Amino acid sequence: MPEWTKDQLKAIDHRNHNILVSAAAGSGKTTILIERILKELKGNGPNGRENIDNLLVATFTEAAAAEMKDRLLSKLKDAVNEENDPELKKHLQKQIFKIPMANISTLHAFCLSVIKKFYYVIDLDPNFRLLSDETEKSILQEQAYDDIRNDFYDYPDGGFLQLTDNFSDDRSDDGLKDVVFKLYDFAITNANTNEWLDSLVKPYQFNDSFTESTFYKNKFLPQIKQQISEMLQSIDKAIDLASMDLGASVFLDQLQEVKQVWSEFEQSLAVNSYDKIREFIGDFKIKSRKAKLSKDEDPDKTIANQVEKLRDNFKSQCKSLYNSYFVKSESEVNEALIEAQTLISELVKVERKFMEHFNELKLNRHVVDFNDLEHLTVAILQGDVDGRKIAQEYYQNKFHELMIDEYQDTNAMQESIVNLLHSDNNYLFMVGDIKQSIYGFRQAKPSLFTEKYERYQNPDNDDELIKLSKNFRSSEEVDNFVNQIFTRIFDKKIGDIDYDAESQLVTGTDFPDNVDKQNELTIFVPESVNDDSNLDDDESITKRQTLINAAAQRIQELIASGFKIYDSKIKDSQKQIRRLKYSDIAIISRTKENNTDIISNFSKVNIPVMVTDAQNYFQTTELQIMMSMLNIVDNPYQDIPLVAVLRSPIIRLNEEQLAQIRLIDKHNSYYTALQKYIVSENKDKELQKQLKAFLAQLETYRDFANKNSIARLIWKIYQETGLLEYVSGMPGGKQRAANLHALYQRADAYEENNFKGLHQFIGFIKHMQDLDKDLSQPNSIEANDDTVRVMTVHASKGLEFPIVIYLDMAKHFNMQDVISQTVFDDNGIGITVKNNETRLQYKTIQRGIISQKKKIATFSEEMRLLYVVLTRAKQKLIMFGYAKSQDDLLKLWRDVPQEGLIDETTRLKANTFQDLVGISTMSGIDQDGDFTKNRVAYNKDCQLRFEILPAEAVNIDTNKKSINARNNESVNNLFKESVNDILDMEYRYQESVNTTAYQSVSEIKGLFADPDDEQMAEDLLEDTSRYNLGSFPKPQFLTKTNKITNAEIGSATHLVLQKIAIDKTPEENNFKELIEQMVNEKLLTPELAEKIDLEGLTKLYQSNLGQIIVNNHENVSREYTCSVLMPAEKLFKKVTKDYSVNDKILVHGIIDGVIELEHGIIIFDYKTDHVTAENKAELISKYSGQVNLYAEAISAIKNKPVVGKYLYFLKINEAIDLQEK
């Protein structure tokens, strides 16, 4: 019998009222749930001996439900064996038999059972299939949207075109589709979908002015008041610090004045007009002031720096407040909101049309998705039959208790179902942890948990809140580390809960002193920045490879050193300290993007890994071969798949044989050439015989495909070609064979889903790849194998490992839903209105308010993701991060107060996990001497070893063999020769493999220059089949300056030229107005705006070229995107001219402008270079290649000649006609 804590016993025994259990990580909530159920089955509940089918237990995942059933079954069997009362023993035996059919399942599985039982309440055809495949669902959604979009285009009413223009860009109308899909995700999780859609336009509606609207009074003003109140809190904190410190006292009078002025302003918000509020905030300034200190007064200036930082935070918040809500005057806001009303009304119309057609497509296929399960269940529970809600009455009487696991991740729709099941006849028992609510992307509402959390602890409330804070999973060092961080960053505003003493983790397990429990945070910083590195890019190959290799290196060190772990599951206490195994280690990442590289890099050093969701299924060799085979069975007149099969292990032709076949007929399909080759005279007889057999086999497959299922066809190919056996003998053969088996299973499932035909199956796979819906590779490793586990944060939830390695400490938070032009939350939609004349965009006030709330919600969830990561570890945490420079890493961490909750502004500036850890723990760091020199420090309070290492220091030992690696067995002499031939084969056309399939025009700007030009040599790297830009600007941390670069000025100038109206010749004041508006819209900074050459822009449109543009403005396309396929040998002059290198390369670029006339095309490109008499010819030569390439591409696209090619140098106001050169 376990030793239960006082709070655990409350959760097990308390009944007859609703209970919310706030269960911290490792507090044993599943064990408690099972014990509670067991006691009720034994008769400890209000209804005597309970039956398992009178309980509803809703879990978050199917795996959790299966685990709970297994553990409950085991407990029941033990209880039966121990029970002496024959009646109770018999009762418990009955419960064992009922376990398989018990309502212990996900809420979706329960909904399915409701629909199957009461389908007739809503006249639903019960013969439906569950659409559980997200790919199939995505394809149906795409089809539904394509259909309604075509309908709208066929019968345009103006509204749809305006909507498309507002939400899409010049290149595609997919922007509106993305908005429709996103809006669907929010609408469908609302029980009253239609009412919710109707409500979207209400915040934008007003009579005379939006300042008279309900939204302005009830939403906008309270939001502004709240933000000002929070701003003043930082001023109060600064005043307190300045009052206690002599050096910082210089700020005191200034801060007190700011507080007085803003406090009075805050009180007068309700009586001031919008324009007066706008004027006050826009005009407010705080003069800069520095602390003057003697050497004896606070020599490190810590307090003064904190005060100055708080003051500067207030200034930045003031600026942000203005930019978010007060860019436009009241009259301009009114005008924009009128247009917004029209847009949203039209959007709701399109959304309803999409939902209606999507439902029609599902109905035609007799399928329902998971959202449908919820909506249909609500409809059934609310449905009347002869004046009675028979389904609702049935379940309310049936279930005596509703147990909801992971309650913090419940959404509004699921809450509606629970409420419909709940009545005076039953009680709610909800278990969860608000600190682990990480499913916002599924519209989970943590507010449902927090609302009950506050209400249930009210002593006047009959309901009960039980807090479980004892962590029986982790070491004290892990718990202290977690507590150190979250006491400093979690509160109700950001995180949804105060991380107070009751919320902190309390260690419930004693780890021995003689095992290493020290947590590690290692940040890698490159000692030198290569020109081809972009360290700001989260997808940086350099960064990703460094972190993955660092993890591999650390695992090698731990295994080789015989690292010891404490294993409490071993009953013999003398053996509980044992050597580390690979399976004791979990590598956790934010997303799946690292998985393929982890598999590859770890295999090189013989570290076994189990990755359940590596998203590269269709990129594997065996799948590409098999898909090529299916393609030619469907249609042999496809050159690439046919040659792929001929070259594959199925037929094994070499390059010379393939060339012989092609030479028979160079102009028609390869299949035609193949047919001609086998009947030609004086050819290789053995080859002809082999090809005849192949064609006969192919015809057999084609005939078989017409009469049998796709799955049977695939299996026939496996059996007759030996492909399955062949890949099993390749490196990673077990996984490759599993991949082929998965294709067979996928085809079988495809046909079960009412899809038929090989051609449609191939199209389905292609469409899935087009939608970026590659499948995960099937797992070929057993769960009990000794392998390192690799998983995402979400997949790790509920699991535990002795050692956790987290790779993505430097990954930036995903704030895309905050900064998007259109933002969503439960309360509505915030849109950006585009001005069709100026093409400038105005982010509505409604968008600003939703975005601000979304920012807090998103940031809160990011913090909770960190909490989940850290609490997976039992003994030790190892974290890896990356930074551009040490200064860049530490700049946010410095000057943070040593204790207490960190101010909101500083917290919100953190955009990585390593920032959150840094600002929380650096103040407790103990170091010898200058940290910037030693690069190693310790926080003894939470046993954190913090180290900064050069990225170049990572060195994995590729020669080191795994501890458990099997010795290679000698190869039988009969096969040694053929094996060596395969291993030693040199691919004659390796350059084709190395040649990129894509090039940007900017990377090959020297393309049409003299072949002997030195410029080409400079642009080439070691890989001769890829051009890269010769130089990149040094990052700011190396240049130590904030000086605006010429490149930034050039980009800003191009942006202005892209947006200026050209229906008439622009004057200088037109440019000034546009630039001022772009500054207000935050498209340009004021400093950058000042650098734009207004005189040069004006003279451009006064020139002959400018007048051509203005006179043909209706035919002008600016920022024109073009692509062209070019022979590889034309681009890469150093490659040999082998047959295979004559493949074509996709070259992509954007030119500043294209004028399409009846007789031809004029193209032009602006340049902002500094031009002198000495470098003019060089610059013309430098850019000619670019323009020539654009001309070739656009001429091919438009099928018209290019009659004019212009370079326009803005610095000298001169157009160069390249057509004449």
CB 769 within 8 A of CB 618: yes
Contact 17, 426 (CB under 8 A): no
- pLDDT (tens digit per residue) in 875-915: 999 999 999 888 888 888 877 877 889 988 889 999 999 99
At 623 the pLDDT is: 86
Dist. CA 661–CA 688, nearest whole Å? 10
How does pLDDT run across 303-314, given as a tens digit for each residue?
Answer: 788 888 888 889
Residue 85: Cβ-neighbour burial (10 angstroms; 0-12, 13-18, 19+) = exposed
Residue 1061, annotated as binding a ligand = no
Q: How confident is the model at residue 1120 (pLDDT cuts 50, 70, 90)?
A: confident
3-state secondary structure of 1154: strand
Instruction: Give the range among 781-795, 829-843, 865-879 with minimum mean pLDDT.
Output: 781-795
Q: Is the pLDDT of residue 977 over 70?
A: no
* Per-residue pLDDT, 1121: 76
In this predicted structure, what is the pLDDT of residue 2?
67
More reliable by pLDDT, 301 or 383:
383
Q: Return the pLDDT at 363.
A: 92
The amino acid present at 711, given as its one-letter code, is: A
Over range 576-594, report the average pLDDT.
Answer: 93
Q: pLDDT class for 925, splitting at 50, 70, 90? A: low
Inter-residue contact 240 to 289 (CB < 8 Å): no
At residue 13, the pLDDT reads 95
Rounded to a whole number of angstroms, the distance between the first and last alpha carbons of the chain is: 93
Summarize pLDDT for 104-124 with one digit per residue, the tens.
999 999 999 999 999 999 999
Strands 823-825 and 828-830, sheet pairing: antiparallel
Specify the length of the chain in residues: 1221
Q: Is the pLDDT of residue 287 over 50?
A: yes
% pLDDT > 90, the chain:
53
Using one digit for the tens of pLDDT, what is the confidence trace for 1146-1181?
Answer: 667 788 899 988 888 999 999 888 888 888 888 888
DSSP letter (8 states) at residue 786 = S
pLDDT the model gives residue 897: 79
pLDDT higher at 204 or 1122 = 204
Q: Which two tokens stand for residue 230?
A: 């929070």
- How far apart CA 328 and CA 581 sit, in angstroms, is 63
**Is 29 flagged in the annotation as binding?**
yes
Q: What is the pLDDT of residues 765-775, one digit of tens each?
A: 887 776 655 55
pLDDT class for 866, splitting at 50, 70, 90? Answer: very high
Greatest Cα-to-Cα distance within the chain, rounded to the nearest angstrom: 107
| 401: β partners | 55, 427
Rounded to an integer, the average pLDDT of 203-215 is 92
Here the tokens at position 112 are 């399915």
Q: What mean pLDDT comes out for the span 724-746?
A: 83
Smallest CA-to-CA distance from 548 within 801, 776, 790, 870 is with 790
Residue 853's pLDDT band (cuts 50, 70, 90): very high
pLDDT of residue 1142: 52
1030 is in an annotated binding site: no
Fill in the DSSP letter of residue 576. S
Average pLDDT over residues 353-358: 97
pLDDT of residue 71: 95
Please give the Cα distance from 354 to 147 (Å, whole number).
Answer: 9
Helical H runs in 680-709?
685-707
Those residues with Cβ within 8 angstroms of residue 866's Cβ, 6 or more apart along the chain or in another chain: 485, 913, 916, 917
Sheet strands (E) in 883-1018: 936-939, 944-950, 998-1000
Q: What is the DSSP string of 782-828?
A: -TTSS-EEEEEHHHHTT--EEEEEE--TTPPP--HHHHSSSEEETTE
The one-character DSSP state at 1022 is S
pLDDT of residue 773: 58
**Does 27 count as an annotated binding residue?**
yes
d(CA 24, CA 845) in angstroms, rounded, equals: 39
Q: Measuring CA to CA, how many Å separate 815 from each of 35, 819, 927, 1082?
A: 41, 6, 35, 18
Q: How far apart are CA 1201 and CA 1194, in angstroms?
A: 9
pLDDT of residue 398: 96
The most confident of the ranges 258-267, 832-841, 936-945 is: 258-267
Residue 805 or residue 785, greater confidence: 805
The most confident of 140-149, 834-843, 970-979, by mean pLDDT: 140-149
Is the full-model pTM beyond 0.85? no
Chain Cα centroid distance, residue 1068: 44
* Residue 320 assigned as binding residue: no
Structural domains of the chain, ranges and CATH numbers in brackets: 6-128+369-468 (3.40.50.300), 134-189+334-365 (1.10.274.50), 210-327 (no CATH), 519-614+784-953 (3.40.50.300), 617-770 (1.10.486.10), 995-1220 (3.90.320.10)
| Residue 937 assigned to a binding site | no
Answer whether residue 1145 shows pLDDT above 90. no
Residue 471: strand pairing partners: 507
Q: Over the stretch 368-383, which tens digit does the pLDDT of each residue have? A: 999 999 999 999 999 9
Element (H, E) at 75: helix 62-82
- The pLDDT of 565-581, averaged and rounded, is 92
Q: Cβ-count burial of 651 within 10 angstroms (0-12 exposed, 13-18 middle, 19+ buried)?
A: middle
Asked if pLDDT for residue 982 goes beyond 80, the answer is no
H or E stretch covering 1070? helix 1068-1080
Tokens (6 digits) for 762: 């191939």
Cα 1081 to Cα 1090: distance, rounded to the nearest angstrom:
16
Exposure class string for 376-401: b at 16+ Cβ within 10 A, else e = bbbbbbebeeeeebebbeebbebbbb
The CA distance from 44 to 40, in Å, is 5
Q: Is 1204 annotated as a binding residue?
A: no
Beta bridge partners of 519: 944
* The pLDDT of residue 695 is above 70: yes
pLDDT band at 591 (very low <50, low <70, confident <90, very high): confident
* pLDDT at 770 (0 to 100): 66
For the chain, give the mean pLDDT: 85
pLDDT reported for residue 778: 57
- Tell me the chain's radius of gyration from C-alpha atoms: 34
Q: Is the pLDDT of residue 465 over 70?
A: yes
